[in-house]
Each structure stands twice: as C-alpha cells, then as structure tokens.
Amino acid sequence: MNSRLPTILNTTYLTSGLSRGFFEFVTRVGEARSKQEEDRYVSQEIVSLKTKLNHPDISSRKIRDYITRLIYCEMLGYNVEFGHIHAVKLAQSAKGLWDKRIGYLACSLFLHETHELSIMLINTLQKDLKSSNYLEVCAALTALCHLLNKDMIPAVFGLVEEALSHPKDIVRKKAVMVFSRLFHDAPDTMIHLDEKFRQMLTERDPSVLGSILCLFLEFIKADPNKFKDLVPSLISILEQVLDRWLPRSYDYHGVPAPWIQIKIIENMGLLARDDEKISSEVGPLIVHTLRKAENGVDAAYAIIFECIRAISRLHPQTLSTIIHKSPNLNPLNVITRFLKSNNHNLKYLGLTCLSEIDPMWWIEGEWWGEEQMNIIVDCLEERDDTLKRKTLDLLYAMVNSQNVVVVMEHMINALRTISTTDEFSRLLLVNRIVEISGKYPLNLQNKDYDKAVDSTFLIISKSIESKEKSEEIRQYAVSEAIKILESDINNTTKNLTSWALRILGEFVKSTELQEKIYNRLCDLLTQVDYEIQAQVITTLLKCVSKMKYCPDNIIECVAKCCQSSSGDVKQRSREFIILSKDFVLLDKIIKPYENFDDFTIDESLSFLDNFVENALKNGAKPYNRIPITREDTNAATEIRYEAYEKPNMTYFPKQIMTSLPTYDDSRLSESDRDVLLPNDRSNQSSRGVGPPVTPGQLAWFGVTQEHLPPENVHEHTSLLADSQEPNYNDYEEIDSNRQSVISLIPKMKLQPSTQSWSRAGYKPVNSTESDKFIKYNTSNTRSSLRSSDKVLSIASVTSKTTMTPEKEKLASALFSGVGTSDPGQ
C-alpha cells in the first residue's frame, strides 16, 4: 500500500481526471520491456474490459473509462471490435458532455462511413444538432465530418443547413466543413445553397471565412467556370488581409493570417488558369502578396510558394508581362534565394517552385543563370534523398533532345544507387527512362545514348521483382527489340543489336514468334560480323527451344555458318544443328530463365576435389604452386649513397631533338607505359612518321632524364632510338590530362621528398652493358612509378580545383536547350 502512494498522487494522474485503472494500465504498457510483455498486458486488459462492459448496469462514467482504454488499445493496433457497439451506446446514452464527446470520439475512431453501426447514430446526431448547447452541436458536427454517409444525408441535411446560420461562429465553421465533406459524396444535394455560400464570403469572422474558402476551393477545382465572378470579392478579401484588417491573433509569426492568404491565392490561381482577363486582374495582386511575404519573417515561405504556384498558372500573356522585368523586379528571382539557402527545407521549396514552372519561363526575364544551374547539379549529389528525388523529377521535366544524354546518365546512375527496397521509386525511374528513350530515338548513333539503353535493358531484366509489372516491361522490351532488329542493321550500333538479340532470346514468348522474326534473324546472319553472328545463332537456338519446332530454312542458313572462319561461329552453328534435332537435350541445356540471381563462382574449384583425391591415391604428384618471385626485389633495397653527377645536358638537349625516343619501347613494361602515357595507349599500334614532338612531351622526357645517371641516359636514348622507328603519330593528340601532369613536374622537383626517392632506387653501375640496361630499366620503372604517384596526388589536388569548370560544363549540358521549342518531340 505504501508503495502505491506516490503513484496515486502522481501529478499526471491527479490532473487527468481518469480512473486509477486507466492510469495503471497505461503506465504498465508504457513500461513494458518487450513487445511480448506489452501483448500480454493489452490482451489481459481487453479480456477484462470485455467482461466489464457486458455487465448489465454500469454507470456511464465507468463506461467512459472503459471506452477510453479501448481507444488506447486500438491505437496500439489491437482488435477491439467487440467494443464498437459499446462506443455507439455511450454516444447514445451519454448524460454529460464529456461522456458524449468520448462517445463520439470513439465512434469516429472505430467506425467508418460504411460501417453498419454508424446508422445507429442517426437519432443521436439529430438530437444533438437540435440541442441548445452549442458544444453538443459542435460535437455532433465533428463526428458527422467523419461518419457522414449516403443514408444519413436526408436525416441531417436540414439541421446542418440551419447550423450555417448559427449565432456561434465555431458552429458555422464546422457546418461548412460538413458541407465540404458532403460535396465529395453528393455534390448535387447542395446546389440550392450556392447563394448562401457566396453570402458567407462576406462573413466577418475570419475562421469561418477560412473554412468557406476551403469549400470554394473544392467547388472551383470541380468547375472553375461557374465561379469566375468571385474574383473581385477574393481580391478585396486579400487586400484586407494584407492591410491587416484581421485581428492580430490570426497573425502567425508576424504574418497576417497566412492560411487565409494561401487559400485565396490558390483559388485565384485556379480561376485564372487559361483566362487572360482574370489573369491580368489577379496577377499584380499576387506579385504584391509575394513581395509582402518576401519582406516578412521566415514564416511566410508557404505564401511565397503558393504565389509562385499561382503565377505559374496565369495566362501566358500576363505571365510574360510579370516576368519580363529586371532581375530584382522579377518575382521568380525569389527562387534563387531559396536554392542558395543552406536550409534543406528552403532548398526543397526552391526545387519545388522550379518544378511548378514550365522550363520555358526559366530562361525568360534575366533571372536564370549559371548560378542556379550549378546549384541544381549540386543537389544531385545531396545526401538528402528527398532533395535528390526532387532534382530527378526536375531533370525529367526539362529533358529535351539536346540534353537527353546527360539526363539519361543521371537517371541511370540514380537507378543504380537507389536502395533495392524502394520498389516504387525504382519503377517510376524505369518508366521514365523507357519513356525518354522512346521519345528521343534520334540520338541512336550516339555512343553515350547506346550505353544508356544498354544499362536500361540490363536493369529492366534485373530490377523489377513483382511478377505482373515485370511481365509488362518485358513485353515492351521485346517489341522494342524486334523494332531495332527490323530497322536497317547498318544504322544500329553493335551494342544495341546484341542487346536486342539477347532480350529477344530471353523474353520472347512462343506465341509471338513468327516467321518474320525468324527470317529477319536469318538475314542478319549474312550481314553481320562474327560476334553478332554467334549471338544470332544462340538467339535462334533459344527461340527454337521455345517453339519446339525448327523450320528447315533456318537449319540451312545456320549450316552455311559451319564453314565460317571464326571458331566460335563454327562451334555454335554445329551445336545448333545437333540440338535442333533433339529437343529433349535442348530443353535440358536451355531452361527457361527463371531467376535472375547472380550465380557465384566457385573459385577454389572444389567440385574437382574428388578428382584430385583419386589422382593422388593413384600415385600422382601433389600440385606444387610455382613460387612467383620478383627478380628486382633486392634492387630496391640497395641504396646508392654517393651523390649523382650533375647531368651534363641542357634541359632540351639537341641530340634528343634529332633522334627522338619513343615511349613505345617494347622493353618498357605495360604498366610503365601506362604511367608514361596516361590515356594514350593508341601509340602501341600506330607506326609512321608524323610531326615533331611537342614541347610538353619533351619537357616530360627531359625531366625524367634529369633523374638518371648521365651515362645511362645516353645509352637509353640511343638504344631507344636504334631499336625502333620513332613514333610521332599521336603527338597531335596530347590530351589535357597529360599536359597537366607535365606542367606539374617543376613543382614536384621542388619538394624534398621527391629528391629522396630519386636518390634511392638505383643500383650502382657495376655490371655488364646489357645487364646494366635492364637494371636501369627496372629501376627507372620504379622511379617513374613513384613519380607518377606523386604526380597523381598533385594532379588530384588540382583536379579538385578544376571541379568547378567541370561542374559548369555538366550544368550547361543539362540545361542546353531548356525552354526552347524542342525538335525532338
């Protein structure tokens, strides 16, 4: 007993006015340490409530308490259906207002409009609507908002209509809300009240005004033409609000009645859509509202957003007069401020505003510029998913034939990174990608586009898990694939063809297979190169396995390929001929592709274990791993302590000009070449005489030589010069990357750390000539590798500083052609 004392005197309990039973129950559930424990408590409580409620005469105060507990159980997700009837009874039999309110609350939480029990409430509702106590009327109206159904309408309609003229504003307000609910269910019943509602627009009480604006919003959405005459009164209300005619208590953080402003502006926007006259009337006022909101404190963003939305709906004529102003007068300029903000909510607001406005207006009126573009590109890398998604939506909105490639790339990237559980957004993205690629097929020649289509098909085949959806998309893919194959093969890129073939092979159904497709595939066999030929044969094989029938002409066509000079084609075609005669075997080999899970590769080849064991038993020698050793491992550890002689060459030695070395020395290792020539592998194959070497290249070479012992340099250069014809062919194509590396080398030399590596890593020269060269060569590899590390690290630093131009490039690529008339469509 002692221990219970503080609980009873608990402050919350004392002020709650609830029974101790309720308090204890809630506390116990709140303290439950596990879901099971909570389950136990709640189930116990429900059982005891069931018996208690079925008790014949209990006071209404007790019922109220029990019903409150039931509501709590329901909120936690337990089924309390048995209690629904008791809730209705409580509402019917309630003596006091409190009981009544709990009764109605329980009814509106437990029941729904089509619930059979809600009819039982009609009598009670009628009684309460007639009540002289306005709070009872309010309670009934609140419940009506939730429970109103078709059967109730005739019973209560008249009473609610009367409530529209109730002296208390709170009753009028709620009655209006019931009508807005009614409008959804039975709009025809309230036509005669039209005049009444219009009158109420002149209502003096702001909160009733707010609710009546809500109602008109519904009306206008349904039929704007009927309410065009409302515009003058809306304008005058908005002006009054802006001039602070409303009580101060309607201010929200210093902004006068923001919700009323929002509703009026929304109404105006809907009315002004495609209507030049109204647009010209409301346009200036909306801009004025926006200006006012802009000057206000931070709570007015919702108004600004609504203004922008309304502006975007205005008639183009009015819109252009609003927008064609200098940047600081252009209302759209406010979006820039949002985009620039660090606050994510405001950034979101900015992006949403942009997506509301047709891209065609972005470029008008001097407010749109690189700054905004860059911000949007930045948003793509945002960690906040919502912003990312919004940006993708934006990209989708502004896609055109000029930027389709870049947009596509971003969408596909997003598709890859999006979490696999988010089915919905993946599906949306895939649909959009497919739609865009269908819309802009002109760019087929383009390599990037090709890549995009590739990955889309790949993702289509993998990503959609749900059965029906994937079926739909596969159907689409097959029909697209057939289209691609039927078009002129010379206009289609190889990648695309091979994907079309694969899709056809995997997903085509036997019912769709027609002579036409077969013939086309056979035609293809004669037109394409070996690689595609092989794929065509495989596709044919898959089709045949689905059809269970192989026409003779196909076998003939494939038989021709048996003489092919490509081993792969020969092999496949022979297999085809054998398999096309034996469908049982074929079925075993080609099973319908059912699950798309990636299989894992058994790298340890464990399936061969038995074989190996047997072999060992039969006296075979165990496998000896060949030790892989590096000959030059020791070379690095030996350090040359004495200083190198000063090179006796000038920076650009003359003799090198005359006999220039090439990077193409076959003795240089592959990796070495990579280091020396980043991104320039084409050198390997091309031979020929070309223009002289560029200074940049010379500089690179000269610097490399500075680190070498001079006698080696001579040998090296002469060796190189002797061994091969110099290769100048690609000197023209010096890419910027290499240039930047080269220009960095002087910086590199200044650093002491680069000095230290140049000291180490060379072996003292004491072996034979040829030996020396190899030693030198390996050590040189090492040094240049190291230097390349250095260079790369510096290059990566500089690449950061060059990020901005890159981003700008991306931004301008994204935005190219935005807003112009689009030939792609």
Partner 1 sequence: MIKSVLIFNNHGKPRITKFYQQIDIGTQQALLQEIYSLVSKRPETACNFLEGSQMLGGKDTRVIYRHYATLYFVFVVDESESELGILDLIQVFVESLDRCFENVCELDLIFHFDEVHHILSEVISGGMVLETNISEIVSAYSEANKLKKRSGAIATISGSGAGAVARDLGANFANTVTSTLQNTLQTTVSATFPTFRRNTGFNT
Residues 290 to 319 in contact with partner 1, rule: CB under 8 A:
298-299, 301-302, 305-306, 309
Query: Does residue 102 belong to the site contacting partner 1 (CB under 8 A)?
Result: yes
Residue 248 has what DSSP assignment?
G
Residue number, 213 or 323, with CB nearest to partner 1: 213
* Interface with partner 1, residue 737, by CB under 8 A: no
Closer to partner 1 by Cβ: residue 177 or 453 = 177
Q: Does 16 bind partner 1 (CB under 8 A)?
A: yes
Phi/psi of residue 387, nearest 5 degrees:
-65, -40
CB 351 within 8 A of CB 390: yes
User: By C-beta, is 22 or 728 nearer to partner 1?
Assistant: 22
**Backbone dihedral angles phi then psi of residue 646, each to the nearest 5 degrees:** -70, 130
| Using rule CB under 8 A, residue 9 touches partner 1 | yes
Q: Does 31 bind partner 1 (CB under 8 A)?
A: yes
Q: Which is nearer to partner 1, 206 or 505 (CB)?
A: 206
Measured in Å, how far apart are the chain's first and last C-alpha atoms? Answer: 82
At 667, which amino acid appears? R
Between 4 and 462, CB nearer to partner 1 = 4
Output the smallest distance, CB 10 to partner 1, in A.
6
The upper half-sphere exposure of residue 156, i.e. CA atoms within 13 Å in the direction of its Cβ, equals 30
Q: Any contact of residue 447 with partner 1 (CB under 8 A)?
A: no
User: Which tokens in the block code for residue 90?
Assistant: 């409580």
Minimal distance, residue 220 CB to partner 1, in Å: 12
Tell which one of 197, 252, 530, 773 touches partner 1 (CB under 8 A): 252
Q: Which of 24, 72, 363, 757 binds partner 1 (CB under 8 A)?
A: 72
C-alpha closest to that of 271 among 260, 283, 259? 283
The CB-of-253 to partner 1 minimum distance in angstroms stands at 6
φ, ψ at 624 (rounded to 5°): -110, 120
Smallest distance, Å, CB 19 to partner 1? 8
Contact between 43 and partner 1 (CB under 8 A)? Answer: no
The reply to whether 790 sits near partner 1 by the rule CB under 8 A is no
Q: Are 121 and 107 a contacting pair, CB within 8 Å? A: yes
- CA Rg value for the chain: 40
Interface segment toward partner 1; rule CB under 8 A; list 66-74, 576-584, 612-620, 738-746: 66-74
Distance, in Å, from the CA atom of 769 to the CA atom of 718, rounded to the nearest integer, reads 13
For residues 49 and 54, what is the distance between their CA atoms, to the nearest angstrom? 8
Min dist CB 252 to partner 1, Å, is 6
User: Could you give the residue ranges of the DSSP H alpha helices within 314-403?
Assistant: 316-323, 333-340, 344-356, 359-362, 370-379, 385-397
Angle, vertex CA 291, rays to CA 393 and CA 327, nearest 5? 70
Binding status of residue 347 toward partner 1 by CB under 8 A = yes
Task: Tell me the window of 100-108, 538-546, 567-575, 738-746 that interacts with partner 1 (CB under 8 A).
Answer: 100-108
Q: Please identify, using beta-carbon distances, which residue of 305 and 440 lies nearer to partner 1.
A: 305
**Which distant-in-sequence residues (6+ apart) come within 8 Å of 250 by Cβ?**
206, 256, 257, 260
- CB burial string 704-730: b at 16+ within 10 A, e below: bbbbbbeebbbbbbebbbeeeebbbbb
| Contact status: 344 vs partner 1 (CB under 8 A) | yes
Query: Segment 402-441, which members bind partner 1 (CB under 8 A)?
Result: 422-425, 428
Q: Examine residue 548 and tell whether it contacts partner 1 (CB under 8 A).
A: no
Site for partner 1 in 173-232 (CB under 8 A): 173-174, 177-178, 180-181, 206-207, 210-211, 214, 221
Interface segment toward partner 1; rule CB under 8 A; list 4-12, 540-548, 662-670, 758-766 = 4-12
The reply to whether 13 sits near partner 1 by the rule CB under 8 A is yes
Amino acid identity, position 182? L
Looking at the Cβ atoms of 143 and 508, the one nearer to partner 1 is 143
Query: 156 burial class (0-12, 13-18, 19+ CB within 10 angstroms)?
Result: buried
From the CB of 262, what's the least distance to partner 1, in Å?
A: 5
CA 468 to the chain's CA centroid: 23
Of residues 706 through 725, those in contact with partner 1 by CB under 8 A are none
* CA separation for the pair 318, 451 (Å, rounded): 44
Alpha carbon distance 323, 321 (integer Å):
6
Are 444 and 491 contacting, i.e. CB atoms less than 8 angstroms apart? yes
Q: Which candidate, 574, 511, 567, places its Cα nearest to that of 537?
A: 574
Binding residue for partner 1 (CB under 8 A) from 132, 225, 249, 624? Answer: 249
Say whether residue 93 binds partner 1 (CB under 8 A). Answer: no
Residue 346 vs 360, nearer CB to partner 1: 346
Task: For the segment 257-296, give every residue that binds partner 1 (CB under 8 A).
Answer: 257-259, 262, 266
| 12 is a site residue for partner 1 (CB under 8 A) | yes
According to CB under 8 A, which one of 1, 11, 420, 768 is a site residue for partner 1? 11
Give least dist CB 226 to partner 1, A.
Answer: 19
> Restricting to residues 105-144, which ones interact with partner 1 according to CB under 8 A?
105, 109, 112-114, 135, 138, 142
805 is an interface residue for partner 1 by CB under 8 A: no
Instruction: Select the residue interacting with partner 1 from 10, 54, 686, 737 (CB under 8 A).
Output: 10
Coil vs helix vs strand at 252: strand
For residues 147 and 111, the answer to whether their CB atoms sit within 8 Å is yes
- CA 500 – CA 517 distance, rounded (Å): 12
Burial of 424 (0-12, 13-18, 19+ CB in 10 A): exposed
Tokens of 430: 């895939």
Q: According to CB under 8 A, which residues from 505 to 534 bind partner 1?
A: none
Shortest distance in whole angstroms from residue 114 CB to partner 1: 7
Q: How far is the CB of 343 from partner 1 (least distance, A)?
A: 5
Q: What phi, psi does 266 have (nearest 5°)?
A: -60, -45
Using CB under 8 A, pick the residue from 99, 128, 281, 730 that binds partner 1. 99
Q: Which of residues 462-481 bind partner 1 (CB under 8 A)?
A: none
Q: Which stretch binds partner 1 (CB under 8 A): 74-82, 453-461, 640-648, 815-823?
A: 74-82
